[in-house]
Amino acid sequence: MMLKPYRLGALLLTLLVLPVMPSVPALAAPAAVAGKGHTAAQISDFLSGFYGDHGPSAQDRENRISQILKERQQVSEEIDVLLCSHEEPQEITVGPVTVAKAASVGWATVTTHWASGATDTFTAYVRLDSDPIRLDDVICAG
C-alpha cells in the first residue's frame, strides 16, 4: 500500500504527538466521550424536573434547552415547541426512557393532560453527552 504525502504527514504528526498525550489530564474529556453519558434514570429525573406539572420554568427554558429549540421557539411564536401546545397543561407525565448509546441519545414520551380530559403526547430527546444535561429536541405527535 502506497501512502499519499498528506497521509504520511498526518501519520508522522500523530506519531510525534502520541508521547505527549498521556500527560493530558483525564478530566479534559467529558465523561460521555469515554462512553458513559447520561443514564435512563438521570434522563428520567431531568425530564420530570424540567417539565414539572405544568411545563418548564422561564429559567429552564433559557438554560436547559438546546440552541436549536431556542431558535425553533423564536420562529414558532404561536405554539410552545417544548409542550407542543398553545396553552399550559393541567398535568404532565414522563414515560419510560429509552437510551440508544450508539446514537448518543435518550428519549421518552411525554404526555400532557388537559382539563377537558384529553391527552396529547410528544417525544423529548436528550443527548447523552450534554454537559450539563439539557433538552435537545422535541418531536410533536401530531
Angle at 81 between CA 75 and CA 85, to 5 degrees: 120
Q: Which three cell numbers stand for residue 92?
A: 404532565
Residue 91's DSSP bridge partners are 113
> What integer pLDDT is reported at residue 142 of this predicted model?
65
pTM here is: 0.74
* Integer Cα distance of 97 and 73 in angstroms: 24
Domain positions in the chain are: 38-140
Instruction: Point out which residues pair with 1 in neighbouring strands.
Output: none
Q: What pLDDT is attached to residue 25?
A: 36
pLDDT in tens, the chain (142 residues): 444 443 333 333 333 333 443 333 333 334 444 457 999 999 999 999 999 999 999 999 999 999 999 999 999 988 999 999 999 999 999 999 999 999 999 999 999 999 999 999 999 999 999 999 999 999 998 6
Q: Does domain 38-140 have CATH number 3.10.450?
A: yes
Q: Tell me what pLDDT residue 77 has.
A: 83
Distance of CA 118 to the CA centre of its chain: 28
